Amino acid sequence: DSGVTQTPKHLITATGQRVTLRCSPRSGDLSVYWYQQSLDQGLQFLIQYYNGEERAKGNILERFSAQQFPDLHSELNLSSLELGDSALYFCASSASQGTRNTLHFGNGTRLTVT
């Protein structure tokens, strides 16, 4: 158990809809990262937050947004969903933002857009 909790585990929704994925980091971790894995491909970095502030941005679509709350949990909001957004979305956390910190991943949320 990595200590990172993601909810829900599975989500099925229709095109055009909006969903929110939730992540609780490991106790004490200040950094949260969101990754997308499509069709057995590698993990694509979306966005990172550190102690409530956006720290780095990857290939995140404008239809997607995220935030980290004062209690350090994070939410990833996906709107105007398209079929191609179907993927596994992983959240990871680390103690700080230094490059030697290991990322600990949750078990992911599987999003299916129909």
Could you list the residues that contact another protein (CB under 8 A)?
A: 2, 4, 31, 33, 35, 40-45, 48, 50, 55-56, 58, 90, 92, 94, 96-108
Nearer to another protein, 27 or 102 (CB): 102
Q: Strands, DSSP E only, in the chain?
A: 5-7, 10-13, 19-24, 31-37, 43-50, 53-57, 64-68, 74-78, 87-94, 104-105, 109-113
Q: Encoding tokens for residue 71? A: 């209690």
Nearer to another protein, 17 or 53 (CB): 53
Nearer to another protein, 16 or 58 (CB): 58
* Least distance CB 78 / another protein (angstroms): 19
* Least distance CB 75 / another protein (angstroms): 18
Q: Encoding tokens for residue 61? A: 């679509």
Distance CA 23, CA 72 (A): 9
